[in-house]
Amino acid sequence: MKQIVFFLLILSISTSVSQAQASSKRKAAKEVTPIVVDNVKYTAPTDQIGYIVARDAATDILIWQRQIYTIHYNKNLERDVQDVFIDSLYIKGKNLMVHTERGKVYSLKLK
């Protein structure tokens, strides 16, 4: 009987740990609405964390891409839970404002 109780206790702990690990996974990044200014479309691709890409709005030809911020990953933590995605872009004066899902705002001067 003690062996069965011990086995059930170990199984319960193992299940709890597995569920906790699974719940640490983050949701997929949301798509950010592109901004178009003077025939240039600015996007924040989810496959390039921290980058802004500028393309010709008519031809979709790449004009430039810039890294706005970097993430310094802790090797002891899961990478996906450390990712910080851009969640919105907007224009303020002559600047493209880049807002992250953690509330940080960066400003990129547009020419």
- Has residue 58 been placed in a domain? yes
For residue 98, the cross-strand partners are 89, 106
Confirm whether 53 is domain-assigned.
yes
Q: CA triplet 41, 47, 50: central angle to 5 degrees? A: 70
Number of domains in the chain: 1
Q: Does any domain span residue 55?
A: yes
Question: Within a domain: residue 1?
Answer: no
Tell whether 71 is covered by a domain.
yes
Q: Please, are residues 65 and 53 in contact by the beta-carbon 8 Å criterion?
A: yes
Determine the structural domain holding residue 33 and report its residue range.
Answer: 26-109
pTM of the model: 0.72
CATH number of the structural domain spanning residue 76: 2.40.10.480
pLDDT tens over the chain, length 111 residues: 555 444 444 545 544 444 444 445 667 778 999 999 999 999 999 999 999 999 999 999 999 999 999 989 999 998 888 889 999 999 999 999 999 999 999 999 998
- Note whether residue 78 is domain-resident: yes
Decide if 41 is inside a domain: yes
